[in-house]
Amino acid sequence: MSENNRSGLLLALGGFALLSAGDVLVKSMAGAWPGSAIGALRYVIGAIGLGAILLVREGRAGFALPHWPWQVLRGFSVAVSAVAAFTAMHLMPIGEATAISFTSPMITALLAALLLHEPLRRQTWIASAMAFGGVLLILRPNFALLGWVALLPMIAACGMALLMIANRKVAGTGSVLSMQFNVAAIGAAFLCVAAFAGHYSGIALFHVPPLPVAVLAKSAVIAVSASTAHALIYLATTRTGAAAIAPMTYVQLLMAGGFGWALFGERPDLLSALGATMIVAAGLYLWRSMKPS
């Protein structure tokens, strides 16, 4: 393995590990603040930080909004994914919620066929069937316990898949930093609306109490760590290529399961573990099928 490939994989490993650490912090705030409000606070902090850096590096020109309908869709997708994912982390075992979120590549492929009219390959159908079979195994105990709330990780995965589709539409229209700021700022606006709506909805799960200092500090750490993670992953793709680092995403799943076991006493049963394995296998199969021969 070349030095560039090795450093790229290490950067990707660090990036995905930071994302897992952020999920643990989200999980640790269960009961202190609702997922919708945590998402809003995290993205507001992230947008302010990214905006300050963007202003220094690119000036006012960096705040352009090319293809604004797709930019709005990016922000909306992030907001949907954040509310669903953060709430799921509070209600479900972190490893199982993370495993279900890894159906996103399969959903992206299906949406690309539906919205972008890309050809739907046989391998996509096979991977999707395998992944959703795994989802059913994981949802089995959670659905019995939580009801429809157990579908939140799937909603989060759909949000991320829609983000990937919208990203394709705006690719190359601005710098990586400006694209990060746009999605964070627009996502923050949608999340603030969601947090206010949830608070006044009368649903106890979304009631927003006074902001604890610990929640503010953890949300700031998540904002910084997530932005750093995405920067590391981007650097990894410049050194190794997106296809090479794709399997590294499953580091998140391994770490989520380990953290859930060690910190929260979450031990998946055999069928849930089998379901997670099926989702990972489906993702790797889809990745492998897309590699050039």
Give, in order, the Cα–Cα distances in Å from 80 to each of 7, 51, 161.
Answer: 34, 22, 11
Q: How far apart are CA 184 and CA 37, in angstroms?
A: 15
Looking at residue 180, its amino acid is Q
Section 131-154 average pLDDT: 80
pLDDT at 292 over 60: no
Nearest 5°: phi and psi at 180? -65, -45
Tens digit of each residue's pLDDT (9 = 90 or more) over 193-239: 999 999 999 999 999 999 999 999 999 999 999 888 888 887 777 67
Higher-confidence residue of 75 and 273: namely 75
pLDDT at 263 over 70: yes
Higher-confidence residue of 83 and 123: namely 83
Structure-token match 């990937």, residue found: 164
pLDDT at 71: 93
DSSP tag of 293: -
pLDDT at 142: 67
What residues does each domain of the chain span?
3-290
Section 245-257 average pLDDT: 78
Burial 113-144 (b: 16+ CB within 10 A, else e): eeeeeeeeeeebeebbebbbebbebbbebbee
Q: How far apart are CA 207 and CA 215, in angstroms?
A: 15
- Enumerate residues 6+ apart whose C-beta is below 8 A from 267: 261
Looking at residue 240, its amino acid is T
pLDDT at 102: 81
pLDDT at 293 over 60: no
Tens digit of each residue's pLDDT (9 = 90 or more) over 26-48: 999 998 999 999 999 999 999 99
pLDDT at 168 over 90: no
